[in-house]
Structures are given as C-alpha cells and as structure tokens.
C-alpha cells in the first residue's frame, strides 16, 4: 500500500473511511449497522463498501501501529479461543503479559503441537524485533516455519502460563531442544493463572458475533488483525494514548494514515 496516499482513488474522504473502520473494529456492530449509522449522518455508504474498507485497511492499521506499542513484561499467558469460519471452528492463539497487554496472536485451522510451535515462534520473533525498536511489535505475517537461527531470540519470556492442553508442553519441549527457546524458560500449566487472558477473549468474541462468522480464512485473519489492534488501543497499549482516551485513539489512527484529525 502506498504510504503517501493510502486512500488514493477512493470515492469517500479518508476521515469517513477511517471512522467506519474504527466503529466496526471497536464496537460490536455488523456492516449493516455501520451503513445505517452513516445514513443517520446523511451519507449513503453501502455495507459491502465498509466490508472492503475493513479488509483493505485493517491489516494496514495493525502494521502501522506496531512501532507505537508499549513494552510488555516477560511473564506470558497463552491460550486459544474459537472463531467460526465457513461454519467450521478455527483457533485463535493469543498471548498476553501479566499486566493484560496483548503480545501476539495467530489464527490457525488446527489446534495441535505444530500450531502451538508456529505461534510461539511468531511471538518470539516479534519479541526479538522489539529489541531494536522503542517498543515491541507484533508483525502479522503468514504462519512462519520454525527457524534454525537461534540468534533471533534475544529477549525470551521468563515464564509461560498455559492451560492443560497437551500440545503446549510438546511444542515448548521441541523448541527448547532445537535451541529456539532457552532452557531456563519455565512452563506453568495452571488454568486459574490464565483467567486474565480468558477474560480478554470475551472482547474479541463479542466483536465476531454480529457478523455470524466469516466466509474465508483470509477474511477472518484480516478482520481479526483489526479487532486485535483496536483492542490494544482500548487497553492503552499505545504510547501517548491512555486507556479510555477515545479522542486520542481516533487521533492516533488518523495520524497513522497521514490524515489530519
């Protein structure tokens, strides 16, 4: 996407596009709900147009927000929740720190050791990239393969809290055996320690309900990226914008896309 003019050739003004995107990604609305809300303001924006905007700009919003995220601590809480895609349940792996800050997420069609390994590698890679920046980033790419270069892990977690899913110990053991994860990282399989991330799942689940599921994996992934980054904004994870500062959140989104708020 052209960073200089991300809204080039768009029929509507950038402020309207970003408003519709923010509303859909932040609140439990359907595309038709957003269409009706815009009609109240004298603008006819078809719900399919809002859908195309979300698919195009939600991943871009997540990408542009990375360098503005605050630092997370080294206590990880990892869990997965469910999202329906084409009437089939998919698995959204998510990681938070002990302060409730979202660290990483990954949508996967399977729930096994290999999927868990891909998620941990993705989370560790984003942790390593954060060392060279002012704050951690959560780069959203296709599920990576397990790297052989152990030097990418420069700031591993101190402890990883998971539930009783047998896939997690297997995945972590394999990552330690290959040197991707340091041996000193502690694994805790205590369900109540993950109450914080299980509560945070509710926000994402609440946003997916109005749409009645997704029709493709790619559509779901693009939308989830937007849901997650808006959840981070809501929780005050972005530098210079506090939790509850709705106007500051809107202004930040505008600045990320080069729009004067």
Domain boundaries, the chain: 14-68+218-256, 75-199
Strands (E), the chain: 75-85, 88-97, 102-108, 159-162, 186-189
Q: What is the DSSP letter of 145?
A: P
Specify the DSSP element, H or E, that contains 25: helix 14-26
Residue 28 in tokens:
């439990």
Q: Name residue, tokens 């939600």.
A: 58
- Neighbouring-strand partners of residue 85: 88, 214
Q: Which fold has domain 75-199?
A: Nucleotidyltransferase; domain 5 (3.30.420)
The pTM score is: 0.86
Q: Three-class SS of residue 159?
A: strand
Residue (of 207, 195, 28) closest to 100 by Cα position:
195
**What radius of gyration do the chain's Cα atoms show?**
19
Q: Three-class SS of residue 65?
A: helix
pLDDT 10s digit of each residue in the chain, 261 long? 555 578 887 889 999 999 999 999 999 999 999 999 999 999 999 999 999 999 999 999 999 998 899 888 999 999 999 999 998 999 999 999 999 999 999 999 999 999 999 999 999 887 655 544 543 333 333 343 434 333 334 478 999 999 999 999 999 999 999 999 999 999 999 888 899 999 999 999 999 888 777 999 999 999 999 999 999 999 999 998 999 899 999 999 999 998 875
Distances (CA, A) of 97 to 70, 94, 197: 12, 10, 9
Distances (CA, A) of 42 to 16, 31, 35, 36, 145: 12, 17, 11, 10, 49
Residue (of 144, 149, 168) closest to 76 by Cα position:
168
């Amino acid at each position: 996407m052209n960073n200089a003019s991300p809204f080039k050739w768009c029929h509507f003004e950038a402020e309207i596009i970003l408003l519709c995107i923010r509303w859909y990604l932040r609140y439990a609305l359907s595309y038709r709900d957003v269409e009706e809300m815009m009609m109240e303001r004298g603008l006819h924006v078809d719900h399919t147009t809002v859908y195309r905007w979300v698919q195009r700009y939600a991943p871009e919003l997540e990408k542009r927000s990375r360098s503005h995220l605050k630092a997370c601590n080294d206590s990880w809480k990892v869990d997965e929740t469910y999202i329906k895609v084409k009437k089939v349940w998919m698995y959204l792996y998510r990681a938070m720190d002990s302060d409730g800050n979202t660290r990483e997420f990954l949508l996967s069609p399977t729930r096994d050791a290999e999927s868990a390994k891909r998620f941990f590698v993705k989370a560790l890679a984003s942790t390593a990239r954060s060392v060279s920046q002012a704050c951690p980033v959560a780069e959203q790419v296709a599920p990576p393969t397990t790297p052989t270069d152990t030097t990418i892990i420069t700031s591993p977690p101190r402890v990883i809290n998971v539930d009783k899913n047998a896939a997690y110990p297997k995945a972590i053991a394999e990552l330690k055996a290959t040197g991707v994860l340091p041996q000193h990282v502690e694994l805790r399989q205590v369900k109540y320690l993950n109450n914080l991330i299980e509560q945070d799942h509710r926000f994402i689940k609440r946003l997916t309900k109005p749409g009645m599921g997704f029709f493709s994996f790619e559509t779901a992934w693009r939308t989830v990226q937007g849901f997650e980054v808006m959840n981070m904004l809501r929780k005050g994870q972005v530098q210079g914008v506090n939790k509850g500062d709705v106007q500051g959140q809107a202004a930040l989104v505008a600045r990320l896309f080069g729009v004067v708020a």
